[in-house]
Chain A
Amino acid sequence: MAKKLPSTDVVVVGLGWAGSIIANELADTGLNIIGFERGPWRDTARDFNVASAADELRYNRRQELMLRTRQNTCTMRNNASETALPLRSWGSFHPGNGTGGAGNHWAGIAFRFQPHEFRLHSYLTERYGKELPAELTLQDWGTDWEEMEPHYAAFDRLAGVSGKAGNIKGTLIDGGNPFEGPRSAEYPNPPTLQTYAPTLFAEAARNFGYKPFPVPSALVSQPYTNSLGVKMGPCTYCGFCTNYGCANYSKASAITTVLPALIRKPNFKAVTNAEVLKVVMDSTGTKATGVIYADANGEQFEQPAELVVVAAFIFENVRLMLLSGVGTPYDPVTNTGTTGRNYAYQTANNVRLFFDDKNFNPFIGGGAIGMGIDEFNNDNFDHSGLGFMGGGSTRVTPIGAAPIDSRPMPPGSPTWGKGWKQATVKNYLSSMSIGCEASSYSVRANYLSLDPTYSDPHGRPLLRITFDFPDNDRKMAKYCIGKVAEIAKSMNPREIVVSSQQGHWDSRPYQSSHIVGGFIMGANPGTSSVNKHLQVWGVPNLFVVGSSAFPQNPGYNPTGTVCALAFKAADAIRSRYLKRPGEMIPV
């Protein structure tokens, strides 16, 4: 029996990007807020000391910052005819743990989605009609660009995003991304410096008539004081970035941009090493009364609250809703129910180039240091007659080259022995890669549910992923990577290796942590779980925020949009919900 604690105004589940942003915005109203985090408190000075942060074995191989699968994992299968089995170690994606969440070890690529994404189904139907592949279950988000832009701008100022605007209030600007939605203002910081590989790529892309731009980076290019008064230091291009915490206060995360201000507010406290087991609902199922959590010893507590905000990683958002009985579980056979619906991923493709006459010094870089083009992303090109929808962000972002994992060599090279050593030395400094991080569109067969067999240490079912890449996405991947390969060939390498997502989803190699859907936003309670304010349909005092709200995934990294949605939800709570608490916000 859980020990009942004194009630509080607001409970926030998860102190990564989304939870920290919302808790901080709501703390300004004077409400008493408790933030729960299943992992430890993390702090740059103590956890990411410059003397020991550059440790590939610890952070990359042993996954120090990631959720330990012993604590919680998922099961996976490619289709409903298979038996799902647990992911015993992380491969395909890297859920985080501790304050800052996956935002501590992210790459820092801070794209916004494009205006048409928020009404994707309507937009593509208007433009292509019956050419829209029947397998796709794309949906509109129930919001639009005008509503989203101020919240993207708020995130830019919080994270100090570095880049070059391509479109300010409708005026196109050379050097930026001409395909981005109209911005209200220039990026808060100028672009970062670039290494050789992205520079070379941008030159080749320009020769094709494409418009290369600096990848928007949450690794700040210069000293920056953010919108909360928190100071960040310039990125030093150390190459220990993706999968690592930043020791320089350069990579924006909740622990470098929000929590230093939030934790000092007297009406906020963080409870760490505390795993929320469920959201407690009243007998009518229309009101959340608080949460039950367990500390690291397994002792359980009930924390009552007037308002509950669930802002964990996507998997835990969806699992908590299934475990708490919020919404109807999605059934792919009847295509009914909403919890678990429209689960999607990101389609990863790349072309690797091997040169004889170049030295890229690949150890210099960072997760978001690079140049990209958007000519083959989303609907930036005409899809008439192509037989697919979507596209990808093409870019060169050298993240660093710590050598346990980063030793590129052509296929067929020996994996050990004398020949292996020669191939390793020959290619280490002289290889580069062009990535194409492409869209992942939802289909009926891909969904999230509770696993019938495997459970976590608390005896709760693990979340089960049923996912494979749709035909649409495989066709898209093949087309887009062909375009990328043309650019690669023009750079005259000795050899190129083209990889596009053609087979089944494989849980083993890392692809991206860009996992979306399962508790999606929309205008219709029959096909979505939350409204455009991230408020759960039929449960007015419960908000669920994260990439779980995306109805599908465009060819961009999701973090900027997760954070914009967090600002959006916080704004709706502050300016509207609190005026009429306990009621659905009119949409």
Chain B
Amino acid sequence: MIEKPAKGVTRRQLLLSSATTVAMGAAATAKAATIAGTPQWVPFDHNGPLHYDTPGWQYFTDEQAREVEAIVEQLIPADELSVSGKDAGCAVFIDRQLAGEYGTFARLYQEGPFQPGTAMQGDQSPLNPRQRYTLGLAGLTKYCQANFKKPFSGLGAEQRDATLAGLEKGTIALDGIDSPLFFQQVLGNTMEGFFADPIYGGNRDMVSWKLIGFPGARYDYRDYIGLHNQKLDLVPLSIVGSSAWTQKG
């Protein structure tokens, strides 16, 4: 028998997800559990990924969301290869990530003293992702208003590119946050949103996987491993499932 103080979120709950199930997942904690004999197994007991199709912004204000959408459509522009990062859902992905435990670095060591170290010692910023976005977006808006009298989202493509390049290189300074730290935070999360499973709110319609030829959450390539140097053209599959599964006829 397993003494389990907190039960995981079931798959059925996930598929019918709401803000309530998200909170349940995040709040799951456990005391010491003694396990002996035959381990218990409950159907649908595994703790699957949280599901993020609740409408509306969960963390961003409308203004913040508008600016983030403008950034992600510049980092991943629409062209003949794919839709933009915005239309792929990257801003929605980031919003849901910030609303969850990632947003506060709840799993990470955040004890002081905080002090800058060598590059080899890694990220020593005391700011968590929520703070990085809040400060970075405010600083960016202030910079753009001062220089262009418009927010970032009001700029044309060339000005947007030049501004982002300035943040990346650190030639544009922002109030309240190191500009390359902010840029790398947004770029990293944008790429996560573009390439992660669509269950997290980005990579809509598996757009990035179709773009590069990644078949997604498939779990058996025994029939394909011997097909060397051949294009396989496998239709990608998400954890959410495939629309083909629910087609009638």
Contacts and interface: CB of A to CB of B under 8 A. Distances in A.
A364 B239 CA distance: 18
A402 B37 CA distance: 37
Contacts of A82: 117-118
Nearest to B36: A269
Interface string A485-524: 0000000000000000000111110000000000000000
Interface in A137-193: 193
A421 B77 contact: yes
A108 to B, nearest CB: 16
Contact of B213 (A45, A46, A272, A429): A429
B137 interface: no
Nearest to A76: B121
B166 interface: no
Interface stretch (B56-64, B139-147, B226-234): B226-234
A78 B123 contact: no
A76 B36 CA distance: 38
Interface string B25-38: 00001111111111
Interface centre among A76, A85, A415, A421 (most CB of B within 10 A): A421
Contacts of B67: none
A47 B47 contact: yes
Contacts of A453: 113
A83 B11 contact: no
A199 interface: yes
A273 B230 contact: no
B213 to A, nearest CB: 5
Interface stretch (B16-24, B171-179, B217-225): B217-225
Interface string B95-108: 00000001001111
A52 B46 contact: yes
B110 A85 contact: no
A196 interface: yes
Interface in A11-70: 40-41, 43, 45-58, 61-63, 68-70
A417 B199 CA distance: 25
B32 A274 contact: yes
Given A51-B11, A89-B123, A404-B191, A45 B41 contact: yes
Nearest to A357: B229
B49 A295 contact: no
Contact of A404 (B79, B109, B192): B192
Nearest to B35: A270
A575 interface: no
A8 interface: no
A70 B124 contact: no
B94 interface: no
B187 A85 contact: no
A204 interface: no
Contacts of A506: 119-120
B109 A69 contact: yes
A196 B228 CA distance: 5
B76 A263 contact: no
Contacts of B76: 416, 420-421
Contact of B77 (A43, A46, A49, A418): A418
A46 B41 contact: yes
B54 interface: no
Contacts of B106: 70
A422 interface: yes
Nearest to B215: A363
Interface string A268-282: 111111100000000
A57 B200 contact: yes
Given A82-B118, A508-B122, A57 B32 contact: no
A380 interface: no
Nearest to B192: A404
A455 interface: yes
Contacts of A402: 195, 214
Interface centre among A54, A239, A401, A506 (most CB of B within 10 A): A54
B109 A358 contact: no
B74 interface: yes
Given A359-B229, A421-B76, A421-B77, A296 B32 contact: yes
B82 A88 contact: no
Given A52-B49, A270-B35, A454 B211 contact: no
A421 B107 contact: no
B219 A68 contact: no
A194 interface: yes
Interface string B160-204: 010010001000000000000000000100111001110110000
A296 B30 contact: yes
Interface in B39-98: 39, 41-42, 45-49, 74-77, 79, 81-82
Contacts of B218: 54, 238
B109 A264 contact: no
Contacts of B195: 56, 402-404, 407
B214 A54 contact: no
B212 interface: yes
A506 B208 CA distance: 31
10 contacts: A46-B41, A49-B48, A52-B49, A52-B239, A54-B217, A195-B228, A263-B38, A266-B36, A271-B33, A273-B31
* Complex A-B, nearest 5 residue pairs according to Cβ-Cβ distance, in ascending order: A295-B32, A54-B217, A196-B228, A69-B109, A269-B36
